[in-house]
Amino acid sequence: MPLPPPIVPDQPWTALAPMQDVTDLPFMQVIGHYGPPDYFFTEYFRVHETSRLERHILDSITEQTTGRPVFAQLIGHDLVHLRRTIEELLKYPVAGIDLNMGCPAPKVYKKNVGGGLLRNPDDIERVFDTMREACPGLFTVKTRIGFDDTSHFDRVLELVNQYHVDLLSLHGRTVKELYRSEVHYDWIRKAREGVNCPMFANGNISSAAHCAEIITYTRCEGAMIGRGAIRNPWIFRQIREHYAGQPVFAPTLADVRDYVDRLWVATTPVRPGVPDNKRLNKMKKLLNFVGQGVDPEGAFLKEMRRAREVEPFFAICDRHLGGERASEPFSCEPYEGVVARPNCEVPINTADGCRL
Ligand SMILES: Cc1cc2nc3c(=O)[nH]c(=O)nc-3n(C[C@H](O)[C@H](O)[C@H](O)COP(=O)(O)O)c2cc1C
């Protein structure tokens, strides 16, 4: 079954990668403001005996106003409850149902869900069988190239074909490689040669030019981008401009300052009483990526990470992104050596418990 049409026909497709604790409704709206991807994916809905559809994730399907289709992602392996959850989700305007088969957090994979499924293709077969039958529309899968090696790679691709998966998003790392190793684009290309459905290449795509390189190399239909879109929310618009042969939007530091304000609004707590420092920590987690393109010395990152209160935090943003610096360019590729370090003062473990 074909996907809903992308924004521009005849261009590679784009998707915002699902990111727990990041790709909620307000973040999708912010990305929509700067230029939406063709497709969104929700944070994952947990599926188990007592699970219920989480309201805030449902909101990202029902309330977002970007006009772009949203796939609902599930994590689980209990066949009865997968079926029940899919039935419940199909009452909402989802573009399709996506299986998370890549989450590398030990507390997740030890339950044989997420990336843990990749250890046992027989389990994958049972899950695919159930989900395919429960999904009259699009059934999509997001996975990695293996658990600790690629020994089950061919079998997984066979199952993707056997169960007529409608779209495969492939992060070119094993589960054990987490988020920071090199990305094995050669395995993404191999998968593209072996599966019948369209594919999204995923992993470290950092700019429109890099995206075009990866699309050409892997021959995938599209690119799925996560951290690169937190860092540079203009990336989907830039990719469209690149392929249309138009000048690619070049953001300035003033544009980044505007983005900081929008992120601040997006991190407004839903419930009153959430302390400011929690909100500040979330901002630091997001700006940890943005800071990679602000200055080659990483000075903004260093200072921003040290801020303990809201006022000094914004003063640092104003100093580095406003005033005389406002018209300076924001680097669309991260500056060499300026890394989103996991060992900064703010723990930037993802909600699924993984170091980025
Ligand atoms: C903060 C964070 C949360 C994530 N949560 C999810 C998730 O809920 N579901 C999922 O399939 N992948 C999740 N991922 C993995 C991303 O979707 C993506 O595969 C990975 O970050 C590699 O792409 P990137 O280099 O473009 O970020 C998460 C990644 C990050 C950084």
Q: Which pLDDT tens digit goes with each residue over 59-71?
A: 999 999 999 999 9
Quickly state the pLDDT bin for 339 (edges 50, 70, 90).
confident
Region of poorest pLDDT, from 118-132, 187-201, 247-261, 335-349: 335-349
Do 77 and 199 lie in one domain? The reply is: yes
Instruction: Indicate if 129 and 31 belong to the same structural domain.
Output: yes
Domain range for 306: 251-356
Q: Residue 85: which pLDDT band, with cuts at 50, 70 and 90? A: very high
Pocket test for ligand 1, best of 20, 40, 98 (most atoms within 8 A of CB): 20
Whether 283 is covered by a domain: the verdict is: yes
Residues 313 and 181 in one domain: no
Shared-domain flag, residues 265 and 219: no
Task: Please give the Cα distance from 201 to 280 (Å, whole number).
Answer: 32
Distance CA 323, CA 320 (A): 8
CA of 109 to the centre of ligand 1 (A): 15
Together in a domain, 296 and 315? yes
Q: What is the pLDDT of residue 150?
A: 98
CATH of the domain at 209: 3.20.20.70
Nearest to 214 by CA among 232, 181, 177, 188: 188
Torsion angle of the four alpha carbons 110, 134, 19, 149, in this order, in degrees rounded to the nearest 10: 40
Whether 226 and 259 share a structural domain: no
Question: How many domains does the chain fold into?
Answer: 2
Using an 8 Å Cβ cutoff, are 243 and 12 in contact? yes
End residue of a domain, out of 228, 244, 260: 244
What local confidence, expressed as pLDDT, does residue 354 receive? 39
- Cross-strand bridge partners of residue 224: 15, 202
Residue 1 maps to a domain: no
In a domain, 188, yes or no: yes
Residue 90: pLDDT above 90? yes
Confidence of residue 233 (pLDDT cuts 50, 70, 90): very high
244: how many CB neighbours lie within 10 A of its CB?
Answer: 12
CA of 41 to the centre of ligand 1 (A): 11
- What is the CA(173)–ligand 1 centre distance, in A? 12
- Residue whose Cα lies nearest atom 19 of ligand 1: it is 171
* In a shared domain, residues 197 and 278: no
| pLDDT of amino acid 341 | 61
Residue nearest to ligand 1 atom 15, measured at CA: 19
Last residue of a domain, one of 244, 267, 283: 244
Q: Return the pLDDT at 209.
A: 97
Indicate which residue's Cα is closest to atom 9 of ligand 1. Answer: 18
- Residues 297 and 179: their CA atoms lie apart, in Å, by 23
* Residue-level pLDDT at 273: 84
Report DSSP letters for 143-167, one per residue. Answer: EEEESSSSTTHHHHHHHHHHTT-SE
Which range is least confidently modeled, 2-11, 84-93, 188-197, 273-282?
273-282
* Nearest ligand 1 atom to alpha carbon 98: 11
Residue 6 lies in a domain: no
Residues 257 and 119 in one domain: no
Both 111 and 127 in one domain: the answer is: yes
Q: Does the residue 3 lie in any domain?
A: no
| pLDDT surpassing 60 at residue 292 | yes
User: Is residue 4 in some structural domain?
Assistant: no
Give the residue among 264, 265, 238, 266 at the shortest CA–CA distance from 251. Answer: 238
Whole-number percent of the chain with pLDDT over 70:
96
**Is residue 61 in a domain?**
yes
pTM: 0.96
pLDDT score for 350:
45
Same domain, 234 and 267: no
Number of Cβ within 10 Å of residue 186's Cβ equals: 12
- Show which of 244, 267, 290 is a domain's final residue: 244
DSSP three-state, residue 348: coil
Do both 137 and 170 map to the same domain?
Answer: yes
- The answer to whether residue 347 scores a pLDDT higher than 50 is no
**Same-domain check for residues 193 and 333:** no
pLDDT of the residue at 346? 34
| Pairwise CA distance, residues 74 & 114, whole Å | 9
For residue 2, is it within any domain? no
Ligand 1, atom nearest to 350 Cα: 1
Look over the chain and give the mean of its residue pLDDT values, rounded to a whole number. 94
